[in-house]
Structure 1
Amino acid sequence: MNGADRLCEELLANDIDVCFANPGTSEMHFVAALDRKPRMRCVLGLFEGVVTAAADGYARMADKPAATLLHLGPGLANGLANLHNAKRASTPMINVVGDHATYHLRHDAPLTSDIESLARPMSQWVHRIERAEDVGRDTAAAYEAAMSLPGVATLILPADAAWGEIPETPVARTMLPPRTPVDEDAMRQSVEAIRSGRRTALLLTGKALRADALETAARIADATGVRLIAQMSNGRIERGAGRVPIGTVPYPVDIALDALKDIDCLIMIGAQLPVAFFAYPGKPGRLVPDQCEVIQLATRASDLKEVLSRLSFELGVKRDAPVTVSQPCTDWETLLDGDLTEDAISVAVAQFMPEGAIICNESLTSARRFFGLSHRSAPHDFLSLTGGAIGIGIPLAVGAAVACPDRKVIGLQADGSGMYTVQALWTQARENLDVVTIVFANRKYAILQGEMRAVGATEFGRNAQRMLNIDDPALDWVSMAKGMGVEAARATTVREFVDLLKSAMAQRGPFLIEAVI
């Protein structure tokens, strides 16, 4: 066997059986090894940003890593924006980057680059394999890092380490170290803060936002009066009817400051201190008051469900106490026919999405009402843009659909950000993934127009308009989708959209609705 064979066997031994790939010459031995492992599902992306976002979406839903395969430094660089998002979501991923053979690097060939320096800002762990004999050990270390941090582990695979022959030896599953133990001092401070009667909030992220963990958090809230808040950037929330509703830290800085102004103590469970996405003249960056006490009860490396259970126990909360959950909505807003609007789309999707749907949201401005409406929708998972780097939505849905082939995936997609990774539609078609992509075709960078106003620039001249509008020429999403093998249709009225949405919910396979607003 060779090093590439050993890498595949290590991945499979740890139940990593999906590889999202865009390979090149240096990775051909790894491609050949993948070909010898029929258990490994290989999914091709036509751009590296598709590959990294798809691996992110897969891991958020599968609760285990996928592997990626990228070609040298430039290929890695093409995928960095969505690796940034994955890092912010604490997504476990083994990011395999091929490199020249070790002895070829001295020639400074055209594709030679400093892969480590490119990878490090967007990865929690980076390592270069030196020899074929090291592949097994180093792949096991990458898996341990991806699962324990959790996060993006980038493994650099030189070509000669891939093709080098090694003895065939048994491969065993990698044993993971215990989770970070509970900080007893932080637990004591948290219990004291909650019992003090001060206005206290729990800020949650990661697996603390799963349905069972949210029930534990809700019992704490009901018994003590603490407030529950989800971190703005989080990978996945289980929500909908029958589940505990929870709001997030708002994106607009003024709304966020107002929402958090009354908190005296913030207890962070896997979360980070809430800060504004950007600096604005005359406004603070920290979103909680300066006098607010902040307690870091758990990091993302902790078992967040166990931390909540322990906090509940220390507070004397009954484990079987009933919790308040969202009730199914029976009085949805009436959808009157007429020109299609952003709000009508949000209402329709919230009303007609099926139970078990997975929502991949990259329409921050146009779908702003959806999150508030959908807590009474059928039970579903909500996946959001975490790191703020746009271009995640369409391929995120690819990964979610590969992880959960029996569930409907719905992408709420802004048109501007959708163009960054539109190639992911081709992968949806090739893999016949059950994804409905709804493009909010407002033909402008609406979020940037809002940001211009937020910094005090309220007059849009010709140059500003040409940088913030994408209507000349107008994008034709139906033609683009069909050109990549995805069935598509356009809606300009409420009735047209509702009819298309109902039809798409009733069939399997990829479908795109261009919603002109």
Structure 2
Amino acid sequence: MNGAQALIRTLVDAGVNVCFGNPGTSEMHFVAALDSVPEMRGILALFEGVVTGAADGYARMADKPAATLLHLGPGLGNGLANLHNARRARTPMVNVVGDHATYHKQYDAPLESDIEAVAGTLGWFRTSQSTASLAADAADAVAAAQAGQVATLILPADVSWSEGAEPAAPHTPPTRRTVDESVVRAVIDVLQSDEPTVVLLGGHGTRERALRAASRIAQATGAKLFAETFPARIQRGEGVPTVERLGYLAEQVTYQLTDVRNIVLAGAKSPVSFFAYPGKASDLVPDDCKVHVLAEPLDDIAGALEAVADLVAPDVEPALQQAQQPALPSGDLTPQNWVDVIGALLPANAIIVDEANTSGLLLPTATAGAPRHDVLTLTGGAIGDGLPTAVGAAVACPDRPVICLQADGSAMYTPSALWTMAREGLNVTTVVLSNRSYAILKLELQRVGAESTGPKALDLLDLSRPDLDFVSLAAAMGVPGTRSTTAEELAAQFGEAIAQPGPHLIEAVVPTLF
């Protein structure tokens, strides 16, 4: 078999059986080889940022890597923003990036670029040097991905098309490292010190098993629980402990950590400000507060928390969220009331992909007591991941409703994801919060201390002239769409959308907060 056939067979044998792609000439033998390995599902996206965001969403929900197929350096570059988000989420992913044939590179063809330099910013990478080694390189790439990395395998065209390759056996998937008993004991000493303590959860620490253990610890010791600001995947709702997330604004975090003397990290990083602001601190750990690491992101976080809980709270039950949904609101839509519509009507076992940004600040409160659900957030802050992540989540979990809550400005980075939703018949209900503004940047314009808030500055943050028409845009992509301006309209349209199979879009017109 040729190199591409052996590559795909190796991926499938290692459990990677979905490939999101936007191929070009250098990848045509990979495309042709898909028919020889029917277990691999190929999904076309019209822009590489959708490809990479979809692979991210898939892996967050499937807990295993997807592959991407990208065209040379420019294709990898186009997908870089959502690869950044995936890297920050420690999402397992295998990028297959085509390259010029080895003998062709010397001619500096128009699409020649330093792919390795770009790939090196993401994690593991390798250029496969021969057809004979390609399958082994692919097995190594999967192993790197399974260890929580974005892995990039660069595939020269002649390595792909040449004959004589054989599939490689997959590596044994890595297991999460058990936290040493001495670390557990040291954290217990902190928790029992009577000093105000916070346990900050991240990574797999925001899954139900870890949340239950953390809640037991909090009940027994009085420690406060917080989750990182943008968790890769947090499980919440009825029957799951509710954990407040750290705020986005540094001022919020400062308030949340007032008088705290110890922070215990369980899969999370020590809190820092998202940006630098004149005259304000970057490190958000309070003065006279010590940071202790219970578990690193790739450790057995749930096991470490359970080890602590079994010693400090052996007979304590976790505090579980009771069923409680808001009443349906009425009147014109506002940033405050649209979230109550979602909270009141959220279906059981839903997956919320949240890129609502400023319009979604009250969403966690409105959905806290809704039926059990997962939430995927914007882990790396590179906007435009909402729609693609919803694609991947829907592919990974076809029997679960996916609710994509999407800011309008961010939606325009990757709107072609709607086309992939329609093509694949994915059960995604997208609510676009249309305030016709980069509202978060209006806020940041003030917070950075910029002196000018005149008409030219504000115009650069405005999304009118003309107003975006998401209903027409969705229709052009094959997705039925509606528009709502009142809570009653949103409730009727949302209820109808989630009751029907396939993708739907609702443009919810709301005023801006800022």
TM-score range, shorter chain: over 0.9
Shift of residue 268 of structure 1? 0.9
Partners in 2 of 1:306 and 1:139 — Cα distance? 31
- Alpha-carbon separation, structure 1, partners of 2:41 and 2:338: 35
Structure-to-structure mapping, 1:378-457, within 5 angstroms: 378-457=371-450
Deviation at 1:413, TM superposition (A): 0.5
* 1:300 aligns with one of 297, 300, 323: 297
User: Conserved in 2, the CA contact under 8 Å of 1:241 and 1:328?
Assistant: yes
Alignment gaps of 5+ in structure 2: none
Question: AA paired with 2:112?
Answer: T
Tell me the SS of whatever aligns to 1:421. Answer: coil
| C-alpha distance in structure 2 between counterparts of 1:290 and 1:77, whole Å | 41
Summarize deviations over 1:176-205 as a string: whole Å, max 9, x none: 344334245533321221121111111111
Structure 1 residue runs without a partner (length 5+): none
CA distance in 1 between counterparts of 2:186 and 2:224 reads 17
Distance (whole Å) between structure 2 residues aligned to residue 282 and residue 186 of structure 1 = 37
The equivalent residue for 1:157 is 155
Let me know the Cα RMSD of the aligned residues. 1.4
Q: Which amino acid aligns with 1:324?
A: A
**Other-structure match for 2:329:** 335
For 1:504 and 1:343, the matched residues in 2 are separated by 22
Q: Which moves more between the two structures, 19-28 or 340-349?
A: 340-349
Give 2:341's aligned residue. 348
Amino acid at match of 1:173: P
- Match of residue 197 from structure 1: 194
Matched residue, 2:216: 219
Q: Per the alignment, do residues 68 and 334 of structure 1 end up closer, same or farther by CA in structure 2, a change over 3 Å counting?
A: closer
Residue by residue, what CA displacement relative to the aligned partner does 1:263-306 show, whole Å, maximum 9, x if unpaired? 21111111111111101112111112132111122212212122
Instruction: Say if 1:129 and 1:157, in contact at 8 Å, map to a contact too.
Output: yes
Structure 2 CA distance for aligned equivalents of residues 207 and 495 of structure 1: 38
**Aligned partner of 2:252 among 225, 250, 255:** 255
Q: Tell me, what secondary structure is at the counterpart of 2:398?
A: coil
1:11-60 Cα offsets, whole Å, 9 max, x none, are: 11111110000001111111111121111111111000000000000000
Within-5 A mapping of 1:57-206: 57-121=57-121, 123-148=122-147, 150-168=148-166, 171-206=168-203
Residues 24 and 334 of structure 1: CA distance in aligned 2, closer, same or farther (over 3 Å): closer
1:234 match: 231
Aligned AA for 1:238? Q
Corresponding residue to 1:477 among 448, 470, 476: 470
Q: Which moved more, 1:385-394 or 1:219-228?
A: 219-228
Quote the Cα distance in structure 2 between the aligned partners of 1:407 and 1:218. 27
Q: Note if contact 1:183-1:298 (Cα within 8 Å) is conserved in structure 2.
A: no
Q: Give the distance between the partners of 1:253 and 1:259, measured in 2 at CA.
A: 10
Q: Distance in 2 between matches of 1:261 and 1:110?
A: 56
CA distance in 2: counterparts of 1:172 and 1:120, whole angstroms? 26
Inter-partner Cα distance in structure 2 for 1:285 and 1:43: 41
CA distance in 2 between partners of 1:512 and 1:458 (Å): 39
Partner residue, 1:498: 491
Whether 1:246 aligns to 2:240 is no
In the alignment, the residues of structure 2 paired with residue 507 and residue 458 of structure 1 have an alpha-carbon distance, to the nearest angstrom, of 50
Instruction: Give the total of aligned pairs.
Output: 510
Aligned to 2:206: 209
Which stretch has the larger CA shift, 255-264 or 404-413? 255-264
Instruction: Name which of structure 1's ranges 472-481 and 171-180 shifts more when overlaid on structure 2.
Output: 171-180
Q: Distance in 2 between matches of 1:63 and 1:18?
A: 13
Alignment of 1:27-42 (within 5 A): 27-42=27-42
Equivalent residue of 1:254, what SS? Answer: helix
Once the two structures are overlaid, the 10-residue window that deviates more, 304-313 or 172-181, is 172-181
Q: Give the secondary-structure state (helix, strand or coil) at the position aligned to 1:274.
A: coil
Moved more, 171-180 or 348-357: 171-180
Provide the C-alpha distance between the structure 1 equivalents of 2:332 and 2:229, rounded to a whole number of angstroms. Answer: 32
Normalising by the residue count of structure 2, what TM-score does the alignment of the two structures yield? Answer: 0.97
| C-alpha separation in 1, matches of 2:215 and 2:38 | 45
Specify the alignment match of 1:281 in structure 2. 278
1:301-340 deviation digits (Å, cap 9, x = unpaired): 2121222122223x3432x63221111115x24512x222
The residue identity in structure 2 corresponding to 1:164 is S
Q: Given that residues 51 and 395 in structure 1 are in contact (C-alpha distance below 8 angstroms), is that contact kept between their aligned partners in structure 2?
A: yes
Q: Secondary structure at the match of 1:321?
A: coil
Q: CA deviation at 1:220?
A: 1.2
Amino acid at match of 2:407: A
> How far apart are the structure 2 equivalents of 1:323 and 1:118?
45
Residues in 1 aligned to 2:154 and 2:102: alpha-carbon distance in whole angstroms: 11
In 1, Cα distance between equivalents of 2:366 and 2:333: 18
Q: CA deviation at 1:473?
A: 0.7
SS of residue paired to 1:186: helix
CA distance in 1, matches of 2:237, 2:175: 33
| TM-score normalised according to structure 1 size | 0.96
Kindly state the Cα deviation for residue 151 of structure 1 after the two structures are TM-superposed. 2.1
State the alpha-carbon separation in 2 of the partners of residues 44 and 327 from structure 1. Answer: 41
